[in-house]
Amino acid sequence: MAALAPVLDESTIRFYRQALSILEEANVPTLVGGAYAYARYTGIERHTKDFDVFIRREDFQRAAWAFQKAGFKAELTFPHWLGKAFKGDDFVDLIFSAGNGVAVVDDRWFEYAVRDQVFGVAVQLIPAEEMIWSKGLIMERERFDGADVAHVIRAVGDKLDWKRLLERYGKYWRALYAHLVLFGFIYPSDRDKVPGWVVNELTNRLREETEQGNANEKVCYGTIISRQQYLKDIGEWGYEDARLHEATMNQEEIDHWTAGISVDGAK
């Protein structure tokens, strides 16, 4: 199944093909995500000019040099997760993490990648499990990816590596549990797409934590799922920022990411 038949002008398609070619010639391992991977897993097409390419953080500089050599401009937009390569009005996002510092692109993304074609070019797509991992931790006021998570589970839940998905979420398992509870609400006739043992495992964890009572540390994990909506909690109410507490980001990265809230096009 080809991932998304794009409704884009031919010059933009040529740009994306050239970008993929540049990365291949520079020997930068690359995965395609965004609308193209989402269409492959769910059958839902989104015709957008965003083109998300996932790479390892250590490969970014090599990718940037390759684009610059080919006449593109390249920038490290947010050093903890995102760079861009662009030419005129067209651009490619070079993603190596999530904006919260979680869901870092590592070897396992490539190990479980799915082969497909985009714009007639053979590519590897990000795995469905890593898509759920990264999207499941995005709960901004202006962008909530919960429907995407539900659609992916509905489409391929019976094929997912649930053990790996639980490992990916790790200590953030409550966010996954919330999505699974909502999934059963959204699709009551498809609840078996989530294995019973997964629900039981997370339910038991919830029960155990509830019985243990409050945590000793005053930490707000809201900043993991939204960079904007919990600023008062950490700025005025005395909660520690979970991004610092978990060392997913440093203060400079957090400040830069927060400043980007007001920038048009910032993700």
pLDDT-derived band at 115 (thresholds 50, 70, 90) equals very high
Is the model more confident about 107 or about 262?
A: 107
**b/e 170-197 (16+ beta carbons within 10 angstroms → b):** eebbebbbbbbeebeebbeebeebbeee
**223 Cβ partners below 8 Å, 6+ apart?**
100, 230, 233, 234, 241, 242, 243
- In the predicted model, what is the mean pLDDT of residues 201-221? 97
Angle separating helix axes 173-186 and 196-212, nearest 10 degrees: 130
CA angle at residue 197 from 196 to 203, to 5 degrees? Answer: 90
Task: Please count the structural domains in the chain.
Answer: 3
9-48 tens-digit pLDDT: 888 899 999 999 999 999 999 999 999 999 999 999 987 7
Distance CA 247, CA 229 (A): 20
78 and 48 share one domain: yes
- Indicate the residue among 126, 152, 182 that finishes a domain: 126
pLDDT at 267: 42
Is the model more confident about 125 or about 8?
A: 125
For residues 131 and 152, the answer to whether their CB atoms sit within 8 Å is yes
Q: What is the CATH classification number for the domain harbouring 54?
A: 3.30.460.40
Tell me the two tokens of residue 182: 């909502």
Is the model more confident about 8 or about 250?
A: 250
155-205 tens-digit pLDDT: 999 999 999 999 999 999 999 999 999 999 999 999 999 999 999 999 999
pLDDT at 178: 98
Q: What percent of the chain has pLDDT over 70?
A: 96
Is the model more confident about 231 or about 2?
A: 231
pLDDT-derived band at 8 (thresholds 50, 70, 90) equals confident
208 and 104 share one domain: no
- In the predicted model, what is the mean pLDDT of residues 221-229? 97
**Res. 251: pLDDT tops 80:** yes
**Res. 90: pLDDT tops 50:** yes
Q: Is residue 239 part of a domain?
A: yes
pLDDT at 122: 96
pLDDT at 3: 47
**Which residue from 108, 103, 109, 105 is spatially nearest to 145, judged by alpha carbons?**
103
Distance CA 223, CA 100 (A): 7
- In the predicted model, what is the mean pLDDT of residues 106-132? 97
- In the predicted model, what is the mean pLDDT of residues 71-81? 97
Burial class for 22, CB neighbours closer than 10 Å (0-12, 13-18, 19+): buried
139 and 122 share one domain: no
For residues 254 and 78, the answer to whether their CB atoms sit within 8 Å is no
Q: Is residue 101 part of a domain?
A: yes
- In the predicted model, what is the mean pLDDT of residues 114-127? 96
62 and 35 share one domain: yes
Q: Is residue 17 part of a domain?
A: yes
pLDDT at 47: 72
pLDDT at 263: 60
What residue numbers bound the domain in which 226 lies?
219-259
pLDDT-derived band at 265 (thresholds 50, 70, 90) equals very low
**Which residue from 7, 36, 12, 35 is spatially nearest to 123, judged by alpha carbons?**
36
33 and 105 share one domain: yes
- Indicate the residue among 97, 126, 155 that finishes a domain: 126
CA angle at residue 260 from 73 to 237, to 5 degrees? Answer: 160
169 and 193 share one domain: yes
Compute the radius of gyration of the chain from its Cα atoms: 19
Distance CA 147, CA 53 (A): 22
40 CB neighbour count, 10 Å cutoff: 23
